[in-house]
Structure 1
Amino acid sequence: YRTALMTLLAVEDKTYRGASIASPSVPWGEAVHAEEPKGYGYNFVWSRDLYQVFSVFDAIGSLDIATDQLEYIYEYQQDDAGFIPQNTYVNGTTRWGGEQMDNISFPQVMAYRLAESGVDFEDVEYSYENVRRSAEYVVRHGPE
């Protein structure tokens, strides 16, 4: 349990609070050194993967960490139309700009979970507008 929590805390960027990379396993390893920049792997932030990390901190009651993760998505990943790209670098720059509805939808679930836990819009750095924009994006572009 503690090792799992430490691992999840370790994949969070220390500059951009809430930005957790999808996996610490790539690009590092025997064939690739960490100091060599690579444009592939899971060293990017996917909101759907961040949702999974969020769900752990939500479940154990670490709402400050869970809140940081959703604030990151809405501050650094979401655009004005509600679109959230497939993934980004930790600074929010789009890496692969693909449209994946789970990446756009999961933050709405995160906002709901925080609200159910008593975290109101007055307590966070995002607003109802962030949630509404992504919900409307899914309505406009999602499956019929």
Structure 2
Amino acid sequence: MSDQVSSLFSLAHSLLTLGQDGSPIYVDSFTRLNRDVYESALNSYGKHGSTPEAEAELCLGLLVAFNATMYDNGHKQEYIQKVLKRSINVLPLIPASLLKVRLLTYCYGEIYEEELNKEAHAIIESWGTFRLTEEQVEIIEELKNIEENPYPWEEAGA
């Protein structure tokens, strides 16, 4: 299942960053990638990780995928809410890591619960600023973007 989760995350990440390098975005490619990401998310939705880390990776992939896609079969917000519940349940079970910061960030981007943001920042601060990996820099920028441009779809607890 790890390959499937990695593929889902990679596809969703490609969709989120499409055109950021200045290359043109073609409608047929954009539409195909949207469909592929959404279908992959639906295929992975009913699965669960065999360890807390695997569950966290799956939840992260699903949140990123649902966030990235424009498609909705009428149940997308229901799926997101269920994945958020799974994520909130698994977060205390995983160690402070890049995975945990990513999951905290994407959960925060959905419900804007300040405790999630604080925990993500505490882990980021423990990294220091010397020799951050590309992935660490990317999630720090993503969290900053969410903080500076909040766009909550629903009120927390709704």
Normalised by the shorter chain, which TM-score bucket? 0.3 to 0.5
TM-score normalised according to structure 2 size: 0.39
TM-score normalised according to structure 1 size: 0.42
Instruction: Give the structure with the higher percent helix.
Output: 2
